[in-house]
Structure 1
Amino acid sequence: MAQQSRRAFLKSAAAFGGALALPSHSRASNSLPLLRAMPSLAQIAPPGYQETPVWSYATDGAAAVPGPELRLKAGQRVTRRLVNDLPQATAVHWHGIRIENAMDGAAPLTQAPVPPGQTFDYDFVAPDPGTYWYHAHNHSMEQVARGLAGPLIVEDRRPWLGEQGAATRELTLVLDDWLLTRDATIVEDRWHDLHAASHAGRLGNTVSVNGKAYPEYAIRPGERLRLRLINTATARIMRIGLPGLSPRLVALDGHPVVPRSAETVTLGPAQRADVVIDAALDPERPAALLLDPGRGDWVDIASFSYRGDPVTPTASDVMPLPSWGTLPAPDLSNPQQERLLMEGGAMRGMDGAMYQGEQMDFRELASRGMVWAFNGVAHGMDEPMFRAPLGRTVRMQLSNRTAWPHAIHLHGHHFTVLSRNGSKDPHRDVRDTILMGPDEEAEIAFVADNPGRWMVHCHMLAHQKAGMMAWFEVS
């Protein structure tokens, strides 16, 4: 069995393209539950390989990859004391939560990075139900690639599971991408690889589901499940297939959508999707979670095995998730118009950009580790990209003038996708991260209803590090 796993691991590696604020300050009490960031080991590669040294989160027990699932109901508080047992300063970003600015964890904009041996107290309300995640947000390309990420599940205020047309149970599936050597250790000498940063980013050779290669999940014949899919990879776009399971999409980035068929679901880094599946009644029928690494050559990354007595299939249509009821609708009658222009990267480049207050040509920018820009500014942290008064609707034109895709994430807000490439978006999905293809145009709109300084960046984290980082202010 170990030999079969090793062969599958090497085959998979070939498919993925290569060889293997201030610390200690809070309004909260001294009795907060802990979230400890620490070095640990994880069995990411199949049995027969050694454990991989990782950085990971722990709560009550041992550290794990992904970090422990944090679960609460909408409207409840998240209270955690971050304890930094890493050799680097760190911070925790609560991705997708419309959060108080001081708790966003976006170091150094909203808090100082937490030094080794120090703590920081997070205490905030999670207002909206949905599928979210938490991850490191200092040296984030390295720290997330080492394993510092975990799921954050905010349950619906009103019951959904078990209702007519809903699922009977749910399963959280955290998808990640690891760049491993042949002895299953993380490749250590490419954290500053400008070649990777100017292309697709740090792409791995091993995909894990809930921290394991090729896990198996038991399902009962005929049952209806809700899958919470989270892409925590630093660069890999996950195109997911669920053949034979009648998948229907019910939420994107935590926000409900009108249920619709979803034979494939594409998740850029940081994006999430909630998908309802119906298991077949035939226990001999194979079922798997498939991934297209980019060439249409689908590979299994997890399997479903039929166990237990069959259940009577749900004949009704999928019941929609409860509405948030908390997100203001954009007023498009007279919005504030903004633009986000993406430039740079390999095979396209740019003439130059501002960096740290100086105009530089592309060669000089590259010598500083900068190869991307937003609106002619690389890593624009000196001044806000724009300012918006509280309650104002912002309509933003996004233009990708590069040869590479980008997953653009707005902190503290969800936005409505209005159009792509000049055509109205038929679904008007509400998201916190939008995947932009090469030379693609999109329009989004949101109400600037959350005061503070908020990051906007590419969640291909090597792109973020190499220039695709900015912020806006709501006041």
Structure 2
Amino acid sequence: MTSLSRRSFVTGLSALGAAPLLPKHSHADGTQAVLRATTSTAQLTPEGFPRTDVWAYAQKGAGSVPGPEIRVKAGERVTRRLLNELPQSTAVHWHGIRIDNAMDGAAPLTQDPVPTGGTFDYDFVCPDPGTYWYHSHNRSREQVARGLAGPLIVEDVEPWLGLPGAATRELTLVLDDWLLNEDGSIVEGRWDDLHAAAHAGRMGNTGTVNGQSFPGFSLRPAERVRLRMINVATDRIMPISLPGLSSTLVALDGHPVAPRKLEVLELAPAQRADIVVDAPVTSTEMTNLVVDTGRGNQVEFASFNIEGEPVQRSGEDVRPLPSWKTLPTLDLATAQNQPLLMEGGAMRGMVEATYQGEKMDFRELTSRGMAWAFNGVAHGMGEPMFEARLGRTVRMEVTNRSAFPHGIHVHGHHFTVLSRNSVPDPHKDVRDTVLIQADETVEIAFVADNPGKWMIHCHMLSHQASGMMGWFKVN
């Protein structure tokens, strides 16, 4: 495998100066905008390297990586006509939004993929404030890796920025990793790499924040800023640290949490976190956003330059975000219990599983491109894993009997993390994607209050494509 030099991966040769804010396009007045899925180029590597051919979203002009930021207030509608200018069919999933089933974009379950030259009209309400994103949900392992992802920000109806204890401004940080050749081009021809899929997935060798290699962001001394962080990588789990910045977690996957101090933030693919950072009270040269890429390799993805006039701040505790007030109450006493067993992958494998209605041993499964299974079924899209009555609480015991972690995403719902390995979770965080470590059992629960057919899958997209996919039905 070819790779860029460590210097270009770690620091991008030099800080690139202040990164531009993501373009914002709000259409809260109900007028429909066109969201094009198109070919484009992006400067993913430092200046002086060639630009990279990507697939990207665009509203006006050329496509950008990440796609244009879509921003509305809670309760407002998003209306976008997807126009597919790509050589493959595609669809858009609005990740984390508790959405009407027909708008979920989960091809082929909720809609047919949109063919080249075709269109599809998305029109839905965003009920809950928070940090979300949108991305391709057809051939996702390839299309997301080529660049089809963008931020979707749903603002609080109640004001928060500028209040006592709150931040004074915010930054959206979209973190990604790319598998590139030395000339900056995307590594082709390995989209169906079963060896990678049976391990941790397709890992990149070049990190970006907001589509740039090692961008720089300016903070004033003592300034309090809200960072909306999104991991859009296809497979890489990102343990993130912000040395030199006092960090407080205020939301996970869009849902507010009671503010708590944070040393390391572990973001699985598709997960988001809102972090309030306090800059040092005196100017320093620079501090960095650092990602642990494994084996002690601490990679600097971005810099924060502490400069300018100090901010006068009274030192209040971080103000909590407004509560959602929209989630139904769990009824665990009468919950429908649904086990989810994850098996397969390298170093463990599995004795057998059912694929396309036929029971196969592990060798035959891998010959069909399958390496993982849910409850003994690989890529079980023929029949639902279970059905739940509308309004019923579903309790899921999710067991990872494999040698690798998995980020399990439930469409159309947010769930509460109840316990890990039978130990009650102290925070009871509400999420749409939960990271489950090897040999770990995590208990989650949600109210099945959204009718339709809903996918549940691993958001390590290599794992999803090679078996870790199913769905359930809410009647």
TM range (shorter): over 0.9
Which residue in 2 is equivalent to 1:361? 361
Q: CA deviation at 1:48?
A: 1.1
The change in CA–CA distance for 1:385 and 1:32 in structure 2 (over 3 A counts) is same
Matched residue type, 2:51: E
Q: Over residues 93-117 of structure 1, what are the superposed CA-to-partner deviations in whole Å (9 max), with x where a residue is unaligned?
A: 0000000000000000000000000
Kept in 1, the 8 Å contact 2:415–2:431? The answer is yes
Which residue in 2 is equivalent to 1:70? 70
Q: CA deviation at 1:189?
A: 1.5
Distance of 2:122 and 2:323 partners within structure 1: 27
Kept in 1, the 8 Å contact 2:226–2:274? The answer is yes
Which residue in 2 is equivalent to 1:19? none
Which residue in 2 is equivalent to 1:44? 44
Q: CA deviation at 1:428?
A: 0.2
SS class of match (2:349) = coil
Q: How many residues align?
A: 456
Confirm or deny that 1:291 pairs with 2:287.
Answer: no
Which residue in 2 is equivalent to 1:17? none
Within a 5 Å distance, the mapping from 1:8-407 to structure 2 comes to 8-9=7-8, 32-407=32-407
Matched residue type, 1:397: E
Distance of 1:341 and 1:403 partners within structure 2: 13
The change in CA–CA distance for 1:135 and 1:318 in structure 2 (over 3 A counts) is same
Distance of 1:192 and 1:249 partners within structure 2: 37
Q: Which moved more, 1:258-267 or 1:312-321?
A: 312-321
Q: CA deviation at 1:10?
A: 5.2
Q: CA deviation at 1:289?
A: 0.6
Query: Which sections of structure 2, spanning at least 5 residues, go unmatched?
Result: 13-28
Distance of 1:10 and 1:102 partners within structure 2: 41
Which residue in 2 is equivalent to 1:424? 424
Q: Over residues 196-215 of structure 1, what are the superposed CA-to-partner deviations in whole Å (9 max), with x where a residue is unaligned?
A: 00000000101110001100
Query: Which sections of structure 1, spanning at least 5 residues, go unmatched?
Result: 14-28
Distance of 1:317 and 1:10 partners within structure 2: 36
Q: Which moved more, 1:366-375 or 1:281-290?
A: 281-290
Give percent identity, aligned residues only: 67
Q: CA deviation at 1:11?
A: 5.6
Q: CA deviation at 1:7?
A: 6.3
Kept in 1, the 8 Å contact 2:284–2:307? The answer is no
SS class of match (1:328) = coil
Q: CA deviation at 1:259?
A: 0.1
Q: Over residues 193-252 of structure 1, what are the superposed CA-to-partner deviations in whole Å (9 max), with x where a residue is unaligned?
A: 000000000001011100011000111111100000000000000100011211000000
SS class of match (1:464) = helix
Q: CA deviation at 1:284?
A: 2.0
The change in CA–CA distance for 1:225 and 1:314 in structure 2 (over 3 A counts) is farther
Kept in 2, the 8 Å contact 1:6–1:46? The answer is no
SS class of match (1:455) = strand
Distance of 1:331 and 1:30 partners within structure 2: 37
Kept in 1, the 8 Å contact 2:30–2:77? The answer is no
Q: Over residues 383-423 of structure 1, what are the superposed CA-to-partner deviations in whole Å (9 max), with x where a residue is unaligned?
A: 00000000000000000000001000000000000000110
Kept in 1, the 8 Å contact 2:9–2:205? The answer is no
Which residue in 1 is equivalent to 2:450? 450
Kept in 1, the 8 Å contact 2:30–2:79? The answer is no
Q: CA deviation at 1:286?
A: 2.9
TM-score (norm: length of structure 1): 0.94
Matched residue type, 1:391: G
Within a 5 Å distance, the mapping from 1:402-417 to structure 2 comes to 402-417=402-417
SS class of match (1:142) = helix
Q: Which moved more, 1:158-167 or 1:58-67?
A: 58-67
The change in CA–CA distance for 1:354 and 1:314 in structure 2 (over 3 A counts) is farther
The change in CA–CA distance for 1:142 and 1:222 in structure 2 (over 3 A counts) is same
Kept in 2, the 8 Å contact 1:386–1:472? The answer is yes
The change in CA–CA distance for 1:360 and 1:220 in structure 2 (over 3 A counts) is same
Q: CA deviation at 1:30?
A: 12
The change in CA–CA distance for 1:7 and 1:381 in structure 2 (over 3 A counts) is closer
Distance of 1:385 and 1:463 partners within structure 2: 18
SS class of match (1:247) = strand
Q: CA deviation at 1:6?
A: 6.7
Q: CA deviation at 1:12?
A: 7.0
Distance of 2:418 and 2:329 partners within structure 1: 12
TM-score (norm: length of structure 2): 0.94
Q: Which moved more, 1:128-137 or 1:285-294?
A: 285-294
